């Protein structure tokens, strides 16, 4: 099985990114390419659905950090949902839950984006 598979689907103008597996220094390039492609396509409303994400290291966090300013400057945001407990712990430990809006489910995150629109 591959270390990481990433699906991207469009839901009501939101790019929902579904990483499945592990984001670490080995797989981060694929994750970064996915996010960068969305930015190039000017798809600035992004939901990172972490329901299939087993693990994210600082390499993956750096990929998000590297794009968040550009995305917000263009009126968009990266929201996160469905974090596994160990992924939630990483975000909490680094204070990232102050930087990103985290939702229990994709439906709640999409609802929040719809209300903002």
Partner 1 sequence: MRPAAPPETFRLVIPSQTRYLNLVTGLAKRASLVAGMDDATAAKVSIAVDEAVTNVIIHAYKGESTHKVEIELSFLPATMEIRIWNTGPGLLDGEVTLPDPREYVKHPRKGGLGLLLMSRFMDEIHFREAGGRSECCMVKRLVG
Residues that bind partner 1 (CB under 8 A): 3, 22, 24-26, 55, 57-59, 61-63, 65-66, 68-69, 85-86, 89-90, 93-96, 98-99
Q: Which is nearer to partner 1, 28 or 38 (CB)?
A: 28
- Give me the least distance between CB of 103 and partner 1, in Å please: 19
Whole-number Å distance between alpha carbons of 25 and 19: 15
Q: Which is nearer to partner 1, 50 or 110 (CB)?
A: 50
- Give me the least distance between CB of 21 and partner 1, in Å please: 9
Q: Which is nearer to partner 1, 20 or 96 (CB)?
A: 96
Q: Which is nearer to partner 1, 24 or 112 (CB)?
A: 24
Sequence-ordered strand ranges (E) for the chain: 4-11, 14-23, 45-49, 53-56, 77-81, 102-103
List all residues 6 or more positions away from 15 whose beta carbon is below 8 Å from its beta carbon.
8, 9, 38, 43, 45, 46, 47
């Amino acid at each position: 099985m591959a270390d990481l598979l990433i699906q991207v689907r469009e839901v009501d103008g939101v790019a929902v990114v579904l990483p499945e597996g592990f984001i670490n220094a080995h797989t981060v390039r694929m994750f970064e390419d996915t996010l960068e492609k969305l930015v190039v396509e000017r798809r600035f409303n992004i939901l990172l659905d972490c329901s299939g994400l087993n693990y994210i290291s600082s390499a993956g966090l750096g990929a998000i950090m590297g794009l968040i300013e550009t995305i917000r400057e263009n009126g968009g945001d990266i929201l996160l949902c469905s974090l596994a407990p160990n992924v939630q712990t990483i975000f909490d430990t680094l204070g990232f839950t102050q930087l990103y809006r985290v939702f229990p489910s994709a439906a709640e995150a999409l609802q929040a984006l719809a209300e903002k629109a």
